[in-house]
């Protein structure tokens, strides 16, 4: 059986001090979470400009909350898949591991990853639309009142990054810093189309990292990938972690 992973590839990974992973909706697909693009993608049935922008929320906060409440109820019924669990295992075997995700579903944390940098926020957190108070967890499911109201009387909003909104400055700065310093960069389950997250593999490549892509489809980043596996994350990641554990070269 043709080796899935070459010895030289495993050696490079084994010698990698700093490993960065950037995930998108595809890593949660095998858990039953719809992706955004492609077959069954959310954007086939819903318009991002009507649901995932600050203007949409201003226009109709109840409609936006109905969508996020629906997604929370869906997410509460799913569990991490072998792809998530393999990344939790990888975190334990590489010297320095950095996991950045565009996903707001919290499944990496549920799989046991200690440190997860959420570039686009979390669907399980809310923040006040009036007071500049820190975001806080809200796990009521379904949410009894839409929109949920802050103690100050103003509507709460999901603590997620909508289109046209800046990403959290500290996490974005960290992502660029780590991408510049990492030895290996994994791009997993993302169409690499939404900026600024989509630029990270190029930052890593320009700074000498090996770029590894895992996606059943080609993406704009495939051209810069040193290894690009046309496969599902839940199928290939457990095998990669196993091969790494048994590779001592
Ligand atoms: C910003 C949170 C500054 C909310 C999300 C023109 C050019 C360049 C940029 C722009 C532009 N016009 C506007 C922009 C900026 C815009 C952007 O990039 N738009 C794109 C669409 C062109 N970006 C922004 O607005 C960002 N902010 O730039 O601020 C600014 C300020 C003012 C004005 C302008 C700019 C904010 C972006 C964040 C938006 N929030 N989510 C929520 O989730 O509700 S984005 C959301 O969609 C996700 O978080 C994720 O980021 C993105 C979806 O991408 P993916 O995760 O990659 O998912 P997708 O479905 O696309 O692909 C899944 C992949 O998985 C596929 O390739 C598939 O083959 C693969 N797959 C499937 N199954 C598996 C698998 N892979 C492995 N295993 C499997 N089993």
Query: Is the whole-model pTM more than 0.95?
Result: yes
Pocket probe mutation, ligand 1, options 28, 189, 196, 217, max atoms within 8 Å of Cβ: 189
d(CA 83, CA 71): 21
Q: Supply the pLDDT for residue 42.
A: 82
Q: Supply the pLDDT for residue 49.
A: 80
- Kindly tell me if the per-residue pLDDT of 102 is higher than 60: yes
**Could you identify the atom of ligand 1 that is nearest to the CA of residue 166?**
29
- Kindly tell me if the per-residue pLDDT of 83 is higher than 90: yes
Q: Supply the pLDDT for residue 2.
A: 59
**H runs (alpha helix) in 190-232:** 200-206
Find the mean pLDDT for residues 92-101. 97
120: annotated active-site residue:
yes
The candidate with the shortest Cα–Cα distance to 100, out of 111, 89, 87, 110, is 87
- Taking only the tens place, the pLDDT of each residue in 171-217 is 999 999 999 999 999 999 999 999 999 999 999 999 999 999 999 99
d(CA 18, CA 77): 34
The C-alpha angle 221, 224, 225, rounded to 5 degrees, equals 85
Pocket probe mutation, ligand 1, options 66, 71, 195, 202, max atoms within 8 Å of Cβ: 195
- Kindly tell me if the per-residue pLDDT of 164 is higher than 90: yes
Burial class (CB in 10 A: 0-12, 13-18, 19+), 179: buried
d(CA 11, CA 140): 46
> To the nearest whole number, what is the mean pLDDT of the chain?
95
Find the mean pLDDT for residues 91-96. 97
> With bands split at pLDDT 50, 70 and 90, how would you rate the model's confidence at 20?
very high
> With bands split at pLDDT 50, 70 and 90, how would you rate the model's confidence at 40?
confident
How far does residue 14's CA lie from ligand 1's centre (Å)?
Answer: 31
Q: Is the beta carbon of 216 within 6 A of some atom in ligand 1?
A: yes
State how beta strands 156-160 and 184-188 pair.
unpaired
């Amino acid at each position: 059986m043709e080796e899935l992973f070459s010895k030289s590839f495993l050696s490079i990974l084994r010698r990698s001090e700093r490993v960065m992973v950037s995930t998108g909706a595809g890593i949660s697909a095998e858990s039953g979470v719809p992706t955004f693009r492609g077959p069954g993608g959310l954007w086939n049935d819903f318009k991002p400009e009507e649901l995932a922008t600050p203007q949409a929320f201003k226009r109709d906060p109840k409609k936006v909350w109905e969508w996020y409440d629906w997604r929370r109820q869906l997410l509460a019924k799913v569990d991490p898949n072998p792809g998530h669990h393999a990344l939790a295992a990888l975190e334990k075997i590489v010297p320095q591991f950095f996991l950045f995700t565009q996903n707001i579903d919290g499944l990496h944390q549920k799989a046991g990853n200690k440190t997860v940098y959420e570039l686009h926020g979390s669907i399980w957190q809310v923040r006040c639309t009036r007071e500049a108070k820190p975001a806080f967890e809200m796990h009521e499911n379904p949410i009894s009142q839409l929109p949920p109201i802050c103690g100050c009387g103003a509507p709460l909003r999901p603590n997620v990054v909508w289109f046209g909104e800046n990403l959290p400055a500290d996490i974005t700065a960290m992502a660029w810093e780590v991408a510049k310093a990492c030895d290996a960069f994994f791009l997993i389950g993302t169409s690499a189309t939404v900026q600024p997250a989509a630029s990270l593999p190029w930052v890593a490549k320009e700074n000498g990292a090996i770029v590894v892509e895992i996606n059943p489809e080609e993406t704009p980043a495939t051209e810069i990938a040193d290894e690009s596996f046309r496969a599902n994350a839940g199928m290939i990641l457990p095998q990669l972690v196993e091969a790494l554990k048994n590779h001592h070269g």
